[in-house]
Amino acid sequence: MLVLGAGPAGLVLGNILVDRGIDCVILERAERAHVQTRARAGFLAANTVRILERHGLAEGLHRHGQTHSTCEFRTEDGRFRLDYSGLGQGERHTVYPQQDLVTDLLTRFLERGGQIRFGTEAVTVRGADSERPEVAVREADERPGLWRARYVAGCDGRHGAARRSLPAGTVRHHRDHGVTWLGLLAEAPPSLDAVGYAVHAQGFAGHMARTSEITRYYLQWERGIPADAWSEEQIWHELELRMRATEYGPLRRGPLVQRAVVDLESDVLEPLRHGALFLVGDAAGLISPSAAKGANLAVLEAAILAPALVDDLTTGNSAGLDSYSARCLTHIWRAQEFSHWMIGLLHGPSGTDGESGFHNSLRRSRLTSLRTSRSHQDWFAEHYVGV
Ligand code: RFL
């Protein structure tokens, strides 16, 4: 079995396969240090934690992660909080930085006897319609190489080799939401004990804890402007303005140690299986970070694919592989729907969404409904923390 990419998808898949005795090699383009320090997600859904527990992969997140269940909305009509542990299915998030999860998964994979080749870039997947597909690679020393396996899992993200190797006729549903965020990591403790969503005439601002010393902030950003265009002082000033710090308290400032411009885009590929090639995680579908679903979907899809591969490779039962694409697409589209709804909740009009007054009033009405309607809050909680 060949797995392309050592992100959450590839490492969860690799761990389950190796644990079940399947011979599995992960090919990873980056070096180990890079993979273990790439800061991205942090909010793990309750179901993600259950999956990781079931496969003996949750020790680190239980030891160092923090449970979290409150979000706060700050708008022109005041602020309100939702404690979603008392709503919907009564579930919580676990906050655990993605790079720490990836480090745990990698350590466990190697302990279980899995093989991983860092610095090895998959270039193309050939022969997916055969019983012996092959992956052409660029090895760490730049020399070309070739790997063969019964199956290939494309867990190599949106720009990976799996996507580039898909046959004609693969459908890619794509949406550019017309909104851009500046993602920031501050070396500063969280400023509030909740996820903060600020809706402001100047644009959206967000606050999300990562650890007791690191906080993620987001600032809605003009597309095309580079991440370093503003000074730290300008950024903190804008965050405080949009988060209404004069009314609700100052932000705890610290050096901004990471800045990344993220154009909010979504796509879904259909189908997710092409013969012996399977798409998993961001390679299967990209989801905007507005509802923190990407890493959770990646883990879920890997946990659906792994037992199906084990069944096929050990007993010849291919039913799980046959239904992989349809099963995952159901989850992916539900997450996309919620994520899309969140974008509408948090932003002003964009692109072709039409006249601003109409859109703004809709958004305000949506927020009022969320503040006042218990059934709307239950719906929100179920989708916000679930995948
Ligand atoms: P990854 O994590 O991108 O890993 C893919 C791996 O494949 C390697 N690779 C290749 N290897 C070999 N050959 C090639 N040709 C290759 N091309 C690429 C890469 O080096 C990498 O190691 O994909 P995966 O595993 O599918 O996991 C997806 C998640 O990483 C992603 O969805 C999340 O980070 C999205 N996301 C969030 N998701 C959440 O669930 N909760 C969050 O709070 C959250 N916050 C975020 C996020 C994404 C963000 N960005 C950067 C868009 C916050 C941000 C700012």
- What is the DSSP annotation of 287-331? --GGG--HHHHHHHHHHHHHHHHHHHHHH---HHHHHHHHHHHHH
Angle at 359 between CA 357 and CA 363, to 5 degrees: 115
Give Cα separations from 365 to 79, 91, 300, 359, 360 (angstroms).
14, 26, 33, 10, 9
Q: For a substitution probing ligand 1, which of 156, 181, 184, 208 has the most ligand atoms within 8 Å of its CB?
A: 156
- Contact criterion met (CB below 8 Å) for 132 and 38: no
Of the pLDDT bands very low, low, confident and very high (cuts 50, 70, 90), residue 351 is very low
Q: DSSP letter at 167?
A: P
Q: What is the pLDDT of residues 122-164, one digit of tens each?
A: 999 999 999 999 999 999 899 999 999 999 999 999 999 999 9
Domain of 297, CATH number, reads: 3.50.50.60
- Ligand 1, closest atom to CA 27? 12
CA of 291 to the centre of ligand 1 (A): 15
Q: What is the pLDDT of residues 166-187, one digit of tens each?
A: 998 899 999 999 999 999 999 9
Task: List, chain by chain if needed, residues with CB within 6 Å of any ligand 1 atom.
Answer: 4-10, 27-30, 35, 40-43, 98, 121-122, 155-157, 160-161, 183, 260, 262, 281-282, 289, 292-296, 298
Q: How far apart are CA 229 and CA 240, in angstroms?
A: 18
Q: Which residues pair with 175 in a beta bridge?
A: 266
| Amino acid (1-letter code) at residue 38 | R
Residue 359 has pLDDT above 90, yes or no: no
Most distant CA pair in the chain, distance = 64
Q: What is the pLDDT of residues 194-213, one digit of tens each?
A: 999 999 999 999 999 989 99
- Contact criterion met (CB below 8 Å) for 379 and 88: yes
Q: What is the pLDDT of residues 260-288, one digit of tens each?
A: 999 999 999 999 999 999 999 999 999 99
Q: How far apart are CA 95 and CA 49, in angstroms?
A: 10
Rounded mean pLDDT of 85-113? 96
Q: How confident is the model at residue 206, as a pLDDT? A: 97
Q: What is the pLDDT of residues 101-130, one digit of tens each?
A: 999 999 999 999 999 999 999 999 999 999
Q: Whose CA is nearest to atom 44 of ligand 1?
A: 41
- Location of structure tokens 């308290």: 249
The pLDDT > 70 percentage for the chain reads 98
**Domain span at residue 55?**
2-68+91-174+265-342
Of the pLDDT bands very low, low, confident and very high (cuts 50, 70, 90), residue 349 is low
Residue 289 domain flag: yes
Q: What is the pLDDT of residues 20-60, one digit of tens each?
A: 999 999 999 999 999 999 988 899 999 999 999 999 999 99
Total number of domains constituting the chain: 1
Residue 353 has pLDDT above 60, yes or no: no
Classify 129 as helix, strand or coil. coil
CA of 265 to the centre of ligand 1 (A): 14
Q: How confident is the model at residue 386, as a pLDDT? A: 86
Q: How far apart are CA 81 and CA 73, in angstroms?
A: 6
CA of 80 to the centre of ligand 1 (A): 32
Residue 325 domain flag: yes
Residue 132 domain flag: yes
- Location of structure tokens 């017309």: 178
Pairing of strands 25-27, 78-83: unpaired
- Ligand 1, closest atom to CA 6? 22
From 31, 36, 29, 33, select the one nearest 8 (Cα to Cα).
Answer: 36
CA of 146 to the centre of ligand 1 (A): 25
Angle at 105 between CA 143 and CA 121, to 5 degrees: 15
From 282, 280, 284, 300, select the one nearest 387 (Cα to Cα).
Answer: 300
Residue 317 domain flag: yes
Residue 244 domain flag: no
The percent helix, strand, coil of the chain (3-state, each to 5) is 40, 25, 35
Residue 350 has pLDDT above 60, yes or no: no
Residue 239 domain flag: no
Q: How confident is the model at residue 168, as a pLDDT? A: 86
Average pLDDT, rounded, for the chain = 95
Residues near 365 by beta carbon (within 8 Å), at least 6 away in sequence: none
Q: DSSP letter at 84?
A: G
Tell me the CA end-to-end span of the chain in Å, nearest whole number: 27
Of the pLDDT bands very low, low, confident and very high (cuts 50, 70, 90), residue 355 is low
Classify 210 as helix, strand or coil. coil
- Contact criterion met (CB below 8 Å) for 283 and 155: yes
* CB atoms inside a 10 Å sphere around CB 313: 19
pTM confidence score = 0.95
